[in-house]
Structure 1
Amino acid sequence: MASLPEIDLNPELLAAAAESKAWPFEEAKKIIDRYRKSDFPETVLFETGYGPSGLPHIGTFGEVARTTMVRHAFHVLTEDKVKTKLLCFSDDMDGMRKIPDNVPDRAFLEPHLHKPLSSVPNPFGGDYASFADHNNAMLCRFLDTFGFDYEFASATQYYKSGRFDEMLLRAAERYDQIMAVMLPTLGEERQATYSPFLPISPKSGRVLYVPMKRVDAKAGTITFDDEDGEETTLPVTGGKVKLQWKPDFGMRWAALGVDFEMFGKDHQTNAVIYDRICSILGARPPEHFVYELFLDEHGQKISKSKGNGLTIDEWLTYAPTESLGLYMYQRPRQAKKLYFDVIPRAVDEYYQFLSAYPRQEWKERLGNPVWHMHNGNPPRIDLPVSFGLLLNLVSASNAQNKNVLWGFISRHAAGVTPETHPELDRLAEYAIRYFEDFVRPTKVYRAPDEVEREALAKLAETLAALPSGADGEMIQHAALNVARKIERYQDHSKQAPEGGPGVSVAFFQMIYQVLIGQERGPRFGSFTALYGVTETRALIEKALAGELVA
């Protein structure tokens, strides 16, 4: 989904890209403006961060996917003449401050609290040397699964190999300037013990949050009291010491020359600190993009410890990856609820955008999410039935396998089979799975009242009078004619094309509540054309006989 293929740079595309207001282009233009008065570096560096205290999750996917979209937009704007790299950086030298909930043996890890994650033994089994090694491998497998083009980086390797030594020595040299930035952000008690340097105890191996007794910039060392009270001096280089997370952000940007990094809103207040540390160390801070956080169905922030919201595995159990990619593209600066009810809409919106793409001019194409999701090369997919319709077909027919669904689909759309439309076949499987887990348990049929019984009986009679092969539009029009003659369903705020009042949505809500046991459904005409007029009339007869409620 997200690798960077060769770009077909035609003049129309380039002209539209220069004017595009799509957010990936807006972010890419910031990077170009960054070098307006100088040459580009050999490689423009995009970075994302990963905390290996837990497994990669839906937020990890979103951050890498969105950064890839900006990176691709940058390639287009620079006519693919500037090399770029996406660095996925794992903060695996952070101390394990608490034992994760998802490990098989918590007692096994208790002796290793506060050690760097790369020094904590692996509790999951296998050939991985440490807890971080295991989770880093899961990250790489995760990103590879989605086809991202990236380079993995380990904080432990970078610290120990000397990649950060120059900046760590500079941090010791400019210690007072860094402290002047950090101390005003801390409470009085924390100020008394704070240091941007966190030594790794030579005796216990733990990351120590202790005050510095001396910082010798010339020697490149720090002196502190170890856990047993013994005064200890360590070099700030070679992985003997790491930085607190806020100074670490700015130091990493300075050491690597990061040009672009996005992060969640929970980092926003600290971004100015990261920038100032980076500047103190003699580098220009990268361009930022702050995205909003995801909320659960109750509007609460999603938290790994709470276990609220969706995991990426849960989403991909019920919908294709592309629907998740669309969800990540849309309105990234707006807080969005992330729970199971959003999935069907995301699926249908993805295929709607995909269907519209070939008909659009370049200006509209570059504002279409699928162009960004597929790196400028969206696939051509014919989808004669929407995901929402499939879900309601499953609901009405109680289909438990794809063969039942395909019986309806093939009758409705001649020549459409699982072989000719494999994408539709894939969606049929998702629809059955989603229905069984989320729709069936919540279905509540209700009995129609007298007005509703009369409306349904008239609807059945009208459907019976339709010519064979009536399409969705004809069926919808016939249903509207039934509703217009019933006072309860007349909407005087609307006007029918033929004159007179329009039809209230209450009519179709009633149909889905009584016939399918759901509050909402797709367009009635489209559904009936797919399910079948005869089958819909039989469903009405069951409802009138009280069989559905029973």
Structure 2
Amino acid sequence: RRQALPSACRNPASTAASRGRVLYVPMKHVDAKAGTITFDDEGTETTLSITGGRVKLQWKPDFGMRWAALGVDFEMFGKDHQTNAVVYDRICNILGGRAPEHFVYELFLDENGQKISKSKGNGLTIDEWLTYAPTESLGLYMYQRPRQAKKLYFDVIPRAVDEYYTFLAAYPRQDWKERLGNPVWHMHDGNPPAIDMPVPFSLLLNLVSASNAQNKDVLWGFISRHTQGVTPATHPELDRLVGHAIRYFDDFVKPTKTFRPADEVEREALAALDEALGALPADASGEAIQNASLNVARRIERYQDHSKQSPEGGPGVSGAFFQMIYQVLIGQERGPRFGSFAALYGVAETRALIERALAGQLA
């Protein structure tokens, strides 16, 4: 007669003896004192020790027996295990243990909203994430909203990186109530590091895209010119992000970049933007560049948003204006605040990019 728990053992020794086949067989004898089980391995009686990691339980009994053996008092598991939790608890209790407190988290989904599965290969591994972003960004992604289903694919990485450094920058300015609600307090055991991050990851990605940088030196040339006193030596964390940005761009952004030509209205808008930038000093701030861009868009009917109001009382600016700029100049659907990008890339370089677009050299 098959006994419930011992027969659930997967026997690696019998697997080897059976040329790679896993046996599901009844136990002929269980010697609890000796820690052995006896069973027939395709006609050959075999006695095997179950201690020392020599056997592996099927996943259902493994939960409860592990809790009892290790004294587990808190267990997180995915929503797909929730219906079996009563079985895990019962096994643990039968063995004299006390079932732990449960925390059930939602499933991770791919970009199409389908459950991530190792067998399907539609997921994103930890090693893949850490190739393109710091460990802390993954920690933040895992920490936030555990009871909400989350999409886990490559496009979420840049946002997670910038969110982490945003939380980190906010921490010193917060009171204790706000700090306790800040994820970095929990991620760093109440002692978050003091890191100055003058350039967001999303902005680095656009800088790589515009400059076609293949190494860190090219990007650092732009960064050091824009932010005085910032070098790889003074800002090693930023230097780490620069390397991540180049790898991420090469593998995910560059293959999908699609420039499009500007239509007549867009050509006039870009020419006006070029003229406005030409009136600014070479070291114009991101805010000055952003305001000059908005002034250009406010005069063009296509980009007027009458649901908004400009400082002068006229219509505001539609987001379609900046989307056009990124599509035509960068080959991407969207980007960070244009003024910040142009200030970092350089006024002269941005004007040269516009000139190339108008000459048909990009699309």
Q: TM-score, normalised by structure 2?
A: 0.89
> Are 1:457 and 2:271 matched, yes or no?
yes
Task: Note the aligned Cα RMSD (angstroms).
Answer: 2.8
Q: Distance in 1 between matches of 2:137 and 2:54?
A: 45
Q: Distance in 1 between matches of 2:56 and 2:282?
A: 76
Residue aligning to 2:252: 438
Counterpart residue identity of residue 157, structure 2? I
Of 178, 185, 188 in structure 2, the residue corresponding to residue 364 of structure 1 is: 178
Residue aligning to 1:196: 5
Alignment of 1:293-332 (within 5 A): 293-332=107-146
User: Tell me, what secondary structure is at the counterpart of 2:76?
Assistant: strand
Cα–Cα, structure 1 residues 534 and 276, in superposed 2: closer, same or farther, change >3 Å?
Answer: same
Retained in 1: the 8 A contact 2:29–2:39? Answer: no
Residue aligning to 1:512: 326
Shift of residue 215 of structure 1? 7.9
Q: Distance in 1 between matches of 2:356 and 2:113?
A: 39
Counterpart residue identity of residue 359, structure 1? R
Q: Distance in 2 between matches of 1:289 and 1:462?
A: 56
Shift of residue 236 of structure 1? 8.2
> Are 1:532 and 2:346 matched, yes or no?
yes
Q: Distance in 2 between matches of 1:252 and 1:305?
A: 25
Unaligned segments of structure 2, at least 5 residues: none
Q: Distance in 2 between matches of 1:408 and 1:414?
A: 11
Of 402, 414, 422 in structure 1, the residue corresponding to residue 236 of structure 2 is: 422
Deviates more, 1:250-259 or 1:286-295: 250-259
Shift of residue 253 of structure 1? 1.6
Retained in 2: the 8 A contact 1:491–1:504? Answer: yes
Q: Distance in 2 between matches of 1:428 and 1:481?
A: 32
Shift of residue 241 of structure 1? 7.7
Counterpart residue identity of residue 197, structure 1? P
Of 240, 256, 272 in structure 1, the residue corresponding to residue 70 of structure 2 is: 256
Shift of residue 210 of structure 1? 2.9
Counterpart residue identity of residue 103, structure 2? F
CA deviations over 1:438-477 (Å, ceiling 9, x no partner) = 1111111111001001111111111111244321111111
Residue aligning to 2:210: 396
Counterpart residue identity of residue 497, structure 1? P
Retained in 2: the 8 A contact 1:399–1:405? Answer: yes
User: Tell me, what secondary structure is at the counterpart of 2:97?
Assistant: coil
Residue aligning to 2:25: 210
CA deviations over 1:201-245 (Å, ceiling 9, x no partner) = 99758864234678899x999998624457889998898987543
Q: Distance in 1 between matches of 2:42 and 2:199?
A: 70
Counterpart residue identity of residue 85, structure 2? A
Residue aligning to 1:409: 223
Retained in 2: the 8 A contact 1:194–1:210? Answer: no
Cα–Cα, structure 1 residues 210 and 510, in superposed 2: closer, same or farther, change >3 Å?
Answer: same
User: Tell me, what secondary structure is at the counterpart of 1:525?
Assistant: helix
Unaligned segments of structure 1, at least 5 residues: 1-191
Alignment of 1:335-346 (within 5 A): 335-346=149-160
Q: TM-score, normalised by structure 1?
A: 0.60
Counterpart residue identity of residue 215, structure 2? N
Cα–Cα, structure 1 residues 485 and 247, in superposed 2: closer, same or farther, change >3 Å?
Answer: same
Counterpart residue identity of residue 334, structure 1? Q
Q: Distance in 2 between matches of 1:316 and 1:473?
A: 33
Q: Distance in 1 between matches of 2:99 and 2:316?
A: 58
Q: Distance in 1 between matches of 2:356 and 2:236?
A: 34
Q: Distance in 1 between matches of 2:333 and 2:246?
A: 19
Retained in 1: the 8 A contact 2:294–2:317? Answer: yes
CA deviations over 1:408-464 (Å, ceiling 9, x no partner) = 111111111111111111111111111111111111111100100111111111111
Q: Distance in 2 between matches of 1:509 and 1:309?
A: 30
% same residue: 80
Shift of residue 359 of structure 1? 0.6
